Amino acid sequence: KKYLTVFAAMCVFVFSSCITLGEQWFLYPEQYKELPLKSGKNTKAREVSLETEKGIVLKGIFIDHKDSRDTLVYFYGNQESIRKASKRLYFIAEEFAVNVLCFDYREYGLSSGKASFDALVYDAPYVFDFAKEISERIFLFGQSLGTVQTAVIGSERSPDGIIMEAPFTSAEEAVPAMTEGLWPPFNAIIHLKPDEALINKSDQPVERMAKITAPLLVLHGENDATFPVRLGRKMHDAAASEEKSFCLLENTGHDNVNIFSGRAYECMKVFFEKYR
């Protein structure tokens, strides 16, 4: 399961009934030396750079599909990186004939700076604006934590479509819900809650949804033990989008969403066929 570090903390503090989590529990930067650049049948990847503020440079990958003028901007989950998400990135580019842009977050990969929720929110619009310099039509894909950025961009810019995978509503609602995913007997004796700093952040994803009007697809596993499926439904329902759909993934949890085949793939295929 995801958040094994959190589970380890449960073992250490097993006699404590309430455990408070700050943002450090949800950010796991991975550094590496080289971006996974390669060429495919119809694609070729290159490294890209973006300075979001003085001294802060994000490093990323742009996968150029020879037949596409559209770009999908991908925001991965907290324990991911471009390196770990590369199989998905190249698959999306080839299978759906779309350019794919993905930047590592601050402190992730080759990007500079310090990882934080505030940094994710701050940098997101710059990533979208970078993409607009490449393509006129922009789609967003947010996975788990990455739905924070898609919600920010969707409410402040005008993307042509948004896909959210396993989104959460807010720290105040999502962190306690994570208790449900703990193994017995911990799920009965442990209560998780976010610290005040997380609760008081002004950019809770669900608060952004009322300003999102782009076509929306929400993918969520019915057995998600990290962010229960009801949170994804709430995000879907809160969106102002006139055209939106919820794709329930049976026998699927949080970390094993399969976009390469099956239900999630079919939902994405229909989405792209309709809005591209």
* CATH code assigned at 258: 3.40.50.1820
Task: Name the domain count of the chain.
Answer: 1
153 pLDDT exceeds 80? yes
Could you give the CA distance from residue 62 to residue 102 in angstroms, rounded to a whole number?
A: 7
CB atoms under 10 Å from CB of 165, counted, come to 27
Q: Indicate the SS3 state at residue 132.
A: helix
Let me know if residue 185 belongs to a domain: no
Let me know if residue 176 belongs to a domain: no
Please check whether residue 204 is in contact with residue 169, taking contact to mean a CB–CB distance below 8 angstroms.
yes
pLDDT tens-digit series, residues 36-48: 999 999 999 999 9
Let me know if residue 136 belongs to a domain: yes
Let me know if residue 57 belongs to a domain: yes
Let me know if residue 49 belongs to a domain: yes
6 pLDDT exceeds 70? no
Let me know if residue 129 belongs to a domain: yes
Let me know if residue 123 belongs to a domain: yes
Closest CA to 187 of 244, 228, 134: 228
Model pTM above 0.85 = yes
pLDDT tens-digit series, residues 156-213: 999 999 999 999 999 999 999 988 877 777 667 778 899 999 999 988 999 999 999 9
Average pLDDT over residues 222-237: 98
Domain range for 126 is: 36-169+202-275
